[in-house]
């Protein structure tokens, strides 16, 4: 699991802008932040792969493609 560190730069409406220590920024829903956060708060962000969710999404896309192909073929007949 990778971990990033950054600080909350600002809140813009429903979004929070986090400046990462190693460069770059993340824009996330402010509701994703822990309670008690404020501009200047230092946060740690953990990033990991989710192979189960990836498999599920690939299957959904495959099913959608199959339905679209079937519908297109039916319209041609």
Per residue in 9-41, pLDDT (tens digit) is: 999 999 999 999 999 999 999 999 999 999 999
| Superfamily per CATH, domain 2-76 | Nucleic acid-binding proteins (2.40.50.140)
pLDDT category at 73 given cuts 50, 70, 90 is confident
Q: Residues 4, 16: contact at Cβ < 8 Å?
A: no
pLDDT of residue 72: 86
Domain map of the chain by residue range? 2-76
Q: Residues 4, 35: contact at Cβ < 8 Å?
A: no
Which residues contact residue 38 at a Cβ distance below 8 angstroms, ignoring those fewer than 6 apart? 8
pTM above 0.85, yes or no: no
């Amino acid at each position: 699991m990778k971990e990033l560190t950054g600080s909350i730069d600002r809140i813009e409406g429903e979004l929070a802008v986090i400046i990462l220590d190693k460069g770059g920024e993340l824009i996330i829903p402010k509701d994703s932040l822990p309670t008690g956060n404020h501009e200047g708060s230092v946060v740690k962000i953990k990033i990991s792969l989710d192979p189960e969710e990836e498999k599920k999404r690939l299957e959904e896309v495959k099913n959608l493609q199959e339905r679209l192909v079937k519908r297109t073929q039916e319209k041609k007949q």
